[in-house]
Chain A
Amino acid sequence: EPEVTQTPSHQVTQMGQEVILRCVPISNHLYFYWYRQILGQKVEFLVSFYNNEISEKSEIFDDQFSVERPDGSNFTLKIRSTKLEDSAMYFCASSDAGADEQFFGPGTRLTVL
């Protein structure tokens, strides 16, 4: 069964460093998302992406964040200058139609020291 994959599973970085979190969505899906979950808190929407552009972004998704689909398979989330409060689990998701089931990846745990 096709699934969403994410790499790395765990990323440790120093405050102020840039990180790129990678996702490979399900191949025929057209809609892509990033969510994050700070430990002990609810899963929060960051951004949705369709037709090679951002559809919607939350207030969390400030200028330090960017997303890209550099080729036909990868979907990346870049944080330019990480802060301590960026430490969280980041989930990628994809769907083949907007209101359909979103398939989630296993997540990348980002730790900012």
Chain B
Amino acid sequence: AQTVTQSQPEMSVQEAETVTLSCTYDTSENNYYLFWYKQPPSRQMILVIRQEAYKQQNATENRFSVNFQKAAKSFSLKISDSQLGDTAMYFCAFMKQGSNYKLTFGKGTLLTVNP
């Protein structure tokens, strides 16, 4: 079974600064996908970024980028130029290829962006 670990229950950052959220996972699979989801206070989860394990290039979406280290089973999220609207719970998630597409989530990191 796959597990996802987010070791930082809470983090804070000043507006306009950069913050990195950690995620590690455990799997024996070679083909999989990794995701970061954001859950703002309104509680609807939205996708931030997605990474295919077979791709060596790190995924980037505007101010959001990942550092994917397959050998180390690490998948951290970097948020640059943090904005107040980035305040949310961030979940790292794993999906095994061909797994009927279920997501396995970490416990989440509550990020607070301070003005």
Spell out A's residues near B (CB within 8 Å): 31, 33, 35, 41-45, 48, 50, 55-56, 58, 89, 91, 95, 98-99, 101-107
Q: How far is the CA of A40 from the CA of B75 in the complex (A)?
A: 23
Q: A42-B107, A48-B102 are in contact. Are A104 and B45 (CB under 8 A)?
A: yes
Spell out B's residues near A (CB within 8 Å): 33, 35, 37, 42-47, 50, 91, 95, 97, 99-108
Question: B35 to chain A: which residues have CB within 8 Å?
Answer: 101
Q: How far is the CA of A48 from the CA of B102 in the complex (A)?
A: 7
Evaluate contact between A35 and B43: CB separation under 8 angstroms: no
Q: How far is the CA of A11 from the CA of B104 in the complex (A)?
A: 26
Main SS at interface, chain A: strand
Shortest beta-carbon distance from B67 to chain A in Å: 21
Evaluate contact between B44 and A56: CB separation under 8 angstroms: no
Evaluate contact between A56 and B43: CB separation under 8 angstroms: no
Evaluate contact between B45 and A91: CB separation under 8 angstroms: yes
Please name the residue on chain B nearest to A45 by beta carbon: B102
